[in-house]
């Protein structure tokens, strides 16, 4: 099989990159990665040399290019079925698909007010009204997934799935760092993500980065 290359932004700040990278990491295959620092004069040109939108993540697999985080995750799930990125149970899979697409298309207020920084020292930030609504919706969804479908492990649907790739940046880079007040089920899920080996690998690499982007604070 051709080699996989995932192109990502700064590991510290790029939440969409983290989502695609986690899926590639869960594929079980070896992969190369290219990191492009964001907010530089040549960022867009460098990103455009890998994919059509001038954004990351981008996955290269032989002559196949996949852009958009969720499409990358789908491609990995299809190409590496043994990774079982979608739950096998049909009801759980439907729920997992809906929660993953809800993340991909929503929660603008949270994303704006609490940008991801996996290295940020924990600080208090009071959610505005829109962010509070987003947090309430996300934690409702997490509790539902855990309580209905999560009996076989500590992840949203038990074993690591697409939904964990999608929500890991929220758990580790937003809820944890901004000390968002959470119910016990959601707090336990944040701990699961913080202790997850792939997340810890990503965070360690983020810690080693020297580039600082002020507007992510
Ligand atoms: N809908 C896209 C969003 C991709 C996106 O916005 N990526 C950001 C990094 S997190 C980016 O590449 N920004 C370009 C820049 O900073 O110049 C996806 O799901 O992959």
**185 Cβ contact list (under 8 Å, min separation 6):** 139, 142, 143, 146, 147
**Pair 164, 198: CB distance under 8 Å:** no
Question: In which band, very low, low, confident or very high, does the pLDDT at 215 lie, cut at 50, 70 and 90?
Answer: confident
Residue having the nearest C-alpha atom to atom 6 of ligand 1: 55
Please count the other Cβ atoms lying within 10 Å of the Cβ belonging to residue 197: 8
Domain 4-83 has CATH 3.30.1360.30: no
Residue having the nearest C-alpha atom to atom 18 of ligand 1: 68
Please count the other Cβ atoms lying within 10 Å of the Cβ belonging to residue 54: 15
Angle between helices 15-26 and 197-208 (to 10 degrees): 130
- Same topology for domains 4-83 and 90-200, yes or no? no
Six-digit token string for 214: 């002020």
Six-digit token string for 65: 């290019």
Decide if pLDDT at 1 tops 80: no
Is the C-beta atom of 173 inside 6 A of ligand 1?
no
| DSSP string for 76-141 | HHHH-GGG--S-SSHHHHHHHHHHHHHHHH--HHHHHHS---TTPPP------HHHHHHHHHHHHH
Signed CA dihedral, 174, 177, 183, 187: sign only? positive
| DSSP string for 176-189 | TTTT----HHHHHH
Return the SS3 of 7: strand
Q: What is the pLDDT of residues 72-115, one digit of tens each?
A: 999 999 999 999 999 999 999 999 999 999 999 999 999 999 99
Q: Find the mean pLDDT for residues 7-36.
A: 97
Six-digit token string for 96: 């997992």
Is the C-beta atom of 55 inside 6 A of ligand 1?
yes
| Pairing of β 31-35 and β 64-67 | unpaired
Is the C-beta atom of 9 inside 6 A of ligand 1?
yes
Question: In which band, very low, low, confident or very high, does the pLDDT at 192 lie, cut at 50, 70 and 90?
Answer: very high
Looking at ligand 1, which atom is closest to the CA of residue 16?
A: 10
Mean pLDDT (the chain) is: 97
pLDDT for 2 equals 78
Rounded Cα–Cα distance for residues 15 and 131 (Å):
17
Spans of all domains in the chain? 4-83, 90-200
Mutate to test the pocket of ligand 1, among 56, 104, 211 (most ligand atoms within 8 A of CB): 56
Phi, psi of 102 (to 5 degrees): -60, -40
Looking at ligand 1, which atom is closest to the CA of residue 14?
A: 10
CATH class of 90-200: mainly alpha
Rounded Cα–Cα distance for residues 191 and 205 (Å):
19
pLDDT for 217 equals 66
Six-digit token string for 66: 């996949």
Return the SS3 of 67: strand
């Amino acid at each position: 099989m051709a080699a996989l290359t995932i192109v990502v932004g700064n590991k510290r700040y790029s939440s969409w990159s983290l989502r695609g990278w986690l899926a590639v990491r869960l594929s079980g295959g070896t992969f190369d990665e290219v990191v492009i620092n964001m907010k530089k004069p040549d960022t867009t040109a460098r990103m455009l040399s890998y994919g059509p939108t001038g954004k990351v993540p981008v996955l290269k697999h032989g002559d196949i290019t996949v852009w958009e985080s969720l499409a990358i995750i789908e491609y990995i799930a299809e190409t590496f079925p043994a990774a079982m990125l979608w739950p096998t149970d049909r009801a759980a899979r439907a729920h997992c698909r809906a929660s993953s697409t809800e993340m991909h298309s929503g929660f603008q207020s949270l994303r704006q007010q609490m940008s991801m920084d996996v290295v940020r020292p924990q600080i208090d930030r009071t959610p505005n009204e829109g962010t509070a609504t987003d947090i309430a919706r996300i934690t409702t969804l997490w509790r539902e997934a855990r309580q209905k479908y999560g009996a076989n492990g500590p992840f949203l649907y038990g074993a690591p799935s697409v939904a964990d790739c999608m929500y890991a940046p929220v758990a580790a880079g937003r809820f944890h760092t901004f000390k968002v007040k959470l119910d016990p089920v959601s707090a336990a899920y944040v701990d699961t993500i913080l202790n997850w080996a792939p997340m810890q690998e990503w965070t360690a690499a983020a810690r080693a980065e020297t580039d600082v982007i002020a507007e992510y604070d």
